[in-house]
Amino acid sequence: MSNRKPLIAGNWKMFKTAGEAAETARKLASLVKNEKDVEVMVAPAFTALSSVAEAITNSPIMLGAQNLFWEKEGAFTGEISPSMLVSLGCQYAIIGHSERRQYFGETDETVNKKIGAAINAGLVPVLCIGETNTEREAKKTLPILEMQMKNGLDGLTANALSSLVIAYEPVWAIGTGKAATAQIAQDTHAFIRSWIETNFGNSLAKSIRILYGGSVKPDNVKKLMDQPDIDGALVGGASLDADTFGQLVCF
């Protein structure tokens, strides 16, 4: 592992009421209160952001959103603006998750708009990229990732992207129990970092945190985190239980 501070982020997806999310967050805060070597973030549903923000007050846990819209305000029924998220205490925003792409029509172009809007609002964007099983079997993993990064980061400068986090989440490993081996994940992360260096320079490539996501659990997190280009994890199911997530954080 490098000198980049690892980030272990929990994506709670469409689980937990406001009360349930706050209870989980409070328990997690008690478990990780002395953790200084790892940054911790949780991204509850929009409806639970306020209660979780209150629950993690005076704890090291950061608050993230699972999505946002790129406009500051307007007639966009059902959407949430970056400034609304900031007003609730959010510091991070997950953008381009494969489930958003698969079910809700997210494209590289809308991802690009959202990343720019997040940065302008002072949020740390977590750009999710990853290939499907069909694309992997067709040996298209690297071209797919390259296209997602090229289009998703189009028009943005290295300076603007100084806070960017990239999460490599192979779609075939999300919620399936099939995690990529540590070596497969490392090789892919090394490619991502190399692409960033080629397109945005050595400084950003060295500092950017690249997370692995896809069936991360307490029994495989250490092997993943030991890889030189893996700087943390974006965790789904295993983040829903405070005890399990606490074990992940304290890998």
The dihedral built from the CA positions of residue 165, 233, 67 and 149, taken in this order, carries a sign that is positive
Is 97 assigned a catalytic role? yes
Report the C-alpha gap between 121 and 119 in whole angstroms: 5
Q: Where are the alpha helices (DSSP H) in the chain?
A: 18-31, 49-55, 82-87, 98-104, 108-120, 133-137, 141-152, 182-200, 202-207, 221-225, 242-249
Q: Is 239 helix (H, G, I), strand (E, B) or coil?
A: helix
Is 169 assigned a catalytic role? yes
The dihedral built from the CA positions of residue 13, 18, 20 and 24, taken in this order, carries a sign that is positive
> What DSSP letter does each residue of 17-46 carry, written as one string?
-HHHHHHHHHHHHHHSTT--SSEEEEE--G
Q: Which of 99, 131, 169, 189 is catalytic?
A: 169
Residue type for position 52: V
Q: Which of 39, 97, 99, 189 is catalytic?
A: 97
Known catalytic residues are 97, 169
